[in-house]
Chains A and B, each alone.
Chain A
Amino acid sequence: MPSDVSALQLVLTGDPALVAIVRLSLAVSLSAVFVAALFGLPFGALIALTRFPGRQGVIVVLNALMGLPPVVVGLAVFLALSRSGPLGSWGLLFTPQAMVIAQAVLVTPIIAALTRQTIEDLWSEYREELTAMNINATGRIATLIWDARFSLVTALLAGFGRAAAEVGAIIIVGGNIDGFTRTMTTAIALETSKGDIPLAVGLGMVLIAIVIAVNALVWTVRRAGERLAG
């Protein structure tokens, strides 16, 4: 990316390198949320609806994992995916796929914990009625997930916000390779360290715009939920 052109110019004219970076960032974070939801939603619902010894402990740990430091996750995934590590034969280190995996690891506890909270709250509300109506286990889970859909979407958006904003995990497992694994956050880190502050600021503007958009979306979803379903 030519660094003597003003950052604002790059953003406004849709410089192709900048666009590629933004596109990669979105692709990585969206994929990560998708994978995290695949694991986190059912797991969270399961914890919410079952009773087993040590359940409270699991909930405490799950909530604590929401605050996993991204660099720690990055290090752990790096060690796992390195050729010298247990999953080395997958050859995924320094690829976008590794970044998706690292962010998925980071985001899954968030989605699982929020899902558990949402489903558990709704279940305590619905429990008597659904029992009296003789709804079976599958029916209950489906009903809870559908009726809680707005809150669950909010949980997904929270996960996306976390993924899109982090740099610690993906810079370690992705290697910040020019044109391959460089995302908005890793590019900002790089350009700042190179002293190209205007460019870093330009990227930062795009990132903040995305974060604001996500939050606006959360607000919209909540409002829609209240309006449609009460």
Chain B
Amino acid sequence: MRGPTADLPIRFENVTVSAGAVTILDHITLTLASGPPTIVVGPNGSGKTTLLRAAMGLVKPSAGRITWGERENVPRACRAIVFQRPVMLRRSARGNIRYVLRSSGIVGAEQKTRIGEVLALVGLEHIAGRPARRLSGGEQQRLALARALARDPAVLFLDEPTASLDPAATKVIEDVVHTVSKGGIKVVMSTHDIAEARRLAGDIIMLHHGRLIETGAAMSFFNTPKTDEAKKFLAGELLI
């Protein structure tokens, strides 16, 4: 999965995604390269979710193209995503992880070890046997994260993972993101929380109405935003 990964960099070349008459992503050109986390920000409806899904390979562009490591149509084996509202399989917490591992052919002792590792990473080892659907919102988000990490992906996408969580649960998620990023996984995460973006970002991508407004290193985005929209957004004035 990891090592010199064939999936990076992920390049968007003039990508447009439309659904019927509605344009969701409007001529986006950007690059996601290995390194510190890339945080995608923007008001609601700006296209953050679709951007992540397209980079994951779940959404085909209506125009333009997306390449992974300079190739098109690369299978998703080394990428994983945590959806905004993750769906738990009707099994225990442990069972959800086991499911993902078994589908990649990881069984036996190796499987058992790995399950223990990722559950410990997100702090869920103590409820490994509980039915996943009866976990709290925060616990389910952590389990979804553990599930995504189980196969040691090269790129991890997270769609507003802390949007509905309390500060304590948010901290757990952010700590895990920090840890795995340091461990070499490329994290691409969307958030509407500017403070969270500040805490986690290496790079920032800002979207508004499906258009790319600004990208750049976190420091320069936060301290010296170049566009009006970015300035307004950072001032908390760009709500939709």
Do A and B touch directly, given a CB cutoff of 8 Å in the complex? yes
Within 8 A of A (CB), among B64-88: 75-77, 80-81, 83, 86-88
Assuming the contacts A125-B87, A147-B91, asked whether A230 and B134 have C-beta atoms less than 8 A apart, the reply is yes
Assuming the contacts A133-B100, A139-B103, asked whether A230 and B77 have C-beta atoms less than 8 A apart, the reply is no
Chain A residues, CB < 8 A from B132: 230
Pairwise interchain contact A134-B90, C-beta atoms closer than 8 A = no
Interface bin, chain B: 20 to 34
> Number of contacts between A and B (CB, 8 Å)?
42
1/0 per position for B181-193, CB-CB distance to A under 8 A? 0000000000000
Closest to B83 in A: A128
Pairwise interchain contact A129-B76, C-beta atoms closer than 8 A = no
Chain A residues, CB < 8 A from B58: 128, 131-132
Chain A residues, CB < 8 A from B88: 230
Within 8 A of B (CB), among A202-230: 227-230
Closest to A228 in B: B131
Pairwise interchain contact A135-B103, C-beta atoms closer than 8 A = yes
B198 within 8 A of A: no
Chain A residues, CB < 8 A from B99: 143
A126 within 8 A of B: yes
Pairwise interchain contact B131-A132, C-beta atoms closer than 8 A = no
Closest to A227 in B: B131
Assuming the contacts A134-B75, A230-B133, asked whether A147 and B56 have C-beta atoms less than 8 A apart, the reply is no
B238 within 8 A of A: no
Pairwise interchain contact A129-B131, C-beta atoms closer than 8 A = no
Q: How far is the CB of B85 from chain A (nearest CB, A)?
A: 10
Point out residues on B near A: beta carbons under 8 Å.
56, 58, 75-77, 80-81, 83, 86-91, 99-100, 103, 131-134
Point out residues on A near B: beta carbons under 8 Å.
125-126, 128-129, 131-135, 139, 143, 147, 227-230
